[in-house]
Amino acid sequence: MAEAVTLHSLVERDREHECEGYGLAKVCVRVVGVADLPTRFGEFRIVAFWNNRDAKEHVAVVHGDVLDRDDVPTRLHSECLTGDALGSLRCDCRDQLEVALRALGAMERGCLLYLRQEGRGIGLINKVRAYALQDTGLDTVEANLALGFRDDERDYAIAAHMLKSLTIRSVRLMTNNPAKIRQLTQYGLQVSGRIPHVIPSNPFNRFYLETKANRSGHFMDLAGKPRLPEQSDFVLVEGMPLERLDTAD
């Protein structure tokens, strides 16, 4: 009888793994470490990945059995030092991360990829420069363009390969960003559904969220338009006012 595949067995499987890679950069990943990760949001395991493109260390945070499964609830979360670690109110990243982990931890199974793509892919220093431009009145898209970047420099080829390495067959993607759905599909990962990620705005990030909705095409209602039926069940973040029920990616 063949030995059952486990997260730990993926480390040995990938020890000599090489492939043609995903995307224009031909990125290839290997599972290189697995450990238990008890958190305030639930019991998880953390899976560390090596990649052949750069020195960035991406991880998957896994709850339950996701191996060789269909319709796995999945969140792609891009690193945000100012939000995730420092609690900045200029974005909604920390709330997105905590709400996602809490939701996935309450499900039978789920997966969150923590991707080292600070500042929508432009890096921390350039994000601070973009913030300075926003302080003068530019929106987040205009600031990126002024610095010579695209609106969003993130590439989800590495996310697609990570999910394939975890033998996940299809995902229900927790997002309001159509680019994530489009890119995963482009790289051969089946997106079987979308789970809206509803986060209230605050006075410091509302303009940022409006820009994401109006200029970046995110699935958000910030102008009083009727919500899609799937967006009718709000996720409330502890400590946020109940009257603000806007959405963000």
List pLDDT tens digits, range 170-192: 999 999 888 899 999 999 999 99
In a domain, 62, yes or no: yes
Instruction: Give the pLDDT confidence of 33-76 residue by residue, as tens digits.
Output: 999 999 999 999 999 999 988 888 999 999 999 999 999 999 99
**Averaged confidence pLDDT in the chain:** 84
Give me the sign of the Cα torsion angle 237, 239, 245, 248.
Answer: negative
In a domain, 35, yes or no: yes
* Annotation says 152 is catalytic: yes
Active-site residue, selected from the candidate residues 152, 155, 246, 249: 152
* Annotation says 154 is catalytic: yes
Number of domains observed in the structure of the chain: 1
What is the distance between the alpha carbons of residues 11 and 34, in angstroms, rounded to a whole number?
8
In a domain, 134, yes or no: no
How large a percentage of the chain has pLDDT more than 90? 64
How large a percentage of the chain has pLDDT more than 70? 81
Pairing of strands 190-195, 42-51: unpaired
Active-site residue, selected from the candidate residues 95, 154, 194, 246: 154
Task: Give the per-residue pLDDT at 222.
Answer: 56
Question: Which of 101 and 210 is assigned the larger pLDDT?
Answer: 101
List the CATH number of the domain containing 87.
3.40.50.10990
State the residue range of the domain holding 56.
Answer: 7-117+154-231
Q: Is the pLDDT of residue 102 over 70?
A: yes
What is the distance between the alpha carbons of residues 163 and 184, in angstroms, rounded to a whole number?
10
